[in-house]
Structure 1
């Protein structure tokens, strides 16, 4: 996105911080092709898919800029609808461990900093939504009925965030690919941000990533818990 930054000013104590964000807010789909009712589509949840799978699922992005690093200052892949009248675009961003950490859906590819670097695919369409039901074109009232009261907001954004420090189990170490590390804990950040224009959703972003060791310094509002 060109306008949004990722540091949302806090609302003080008015918002109710969740211990964990509902995973239905962090999964997006159905990526087509579908039968029009969602059947046959693909759902992707943040932090659950290796980024290396994206070209096989969605197609290769332009070879001139395979990482799109200048779009979000970190590695990402951009795809837009193959239907000429549909301007929907999706930006996938990966974390340092190679997982898709962020899924951003926007109503107009022009919101992407480098739209010419997005690849067209039949998997992207205007009907994309979180599993919980947040979709493009919704009113702010409808979003808040699903997401709850935002922890942070302004005239064109709502957001919720959770930061949790938890012990690393052997199974979690294997899933994260951290077997060779000496860390005993991980810090997990989860975030959902919704963008509006005239109180209608023009984009939304679901994010989750893990970091080994001590809790990172994070700007904005957070909910820090320990075991």
Structure 2
């Protein structure tokens, strides 16, 4: 069955001398793997068409889809959105790779979710054009709001009476949790502010220093690990923290 769909590239691995297997989060079919022949070249003519399949690339696809197969094929592919900065700006690319790893660890099933797809697509496009002080907080924003679509979002009921953020329960509570997985003080408050950000450009109102951002990113990684089986630790997190300085 031939279908047209948008897709966001999650991972690409070499296959043979000139081919690749690319994992793409598609709008119509969820996570799918595609064998793409003849896109790599060992000549001096350049990278060939493989550069279209960089992680975070947003593509328009025409695919041969078979529900019974684990490996699909592409009939046609082209840029759907051409990034102006994301692939070339070190900080934006580091944020994008962090977001991609988060998606790789959480999107496991070939199930379509158009709302989630459009959220991811929109967030990457906003990242591409974001100002520097917005870019610095992008990873935090994405990590928190992605959970809305995964079924374990924090309940946003922070108050002076509920000042502790219980990472295990996913809610603000009034008593100090008996386990070590919680945030308090400014970290709890800032998380409540980030949860209320509806559009990425609003992140400019939240100015964070290096230590605060680092603590929050570690806490959000813990939150995911508590709720996603086999989540482990993120390889891109130390890199992103180093780049953000």
- Category of TM-score, reference length = shorter chain: under 0.3
Which has the greater radius of gyration?
A: 2
Q: Using structure 1 for the length normalisation, give the TM-score.
A: 0.24
Q: Which has the higher helix share?
A: 2
Structure of greater relative contact order (alpha carbons < 8 Å, 6+ residues apart): 1
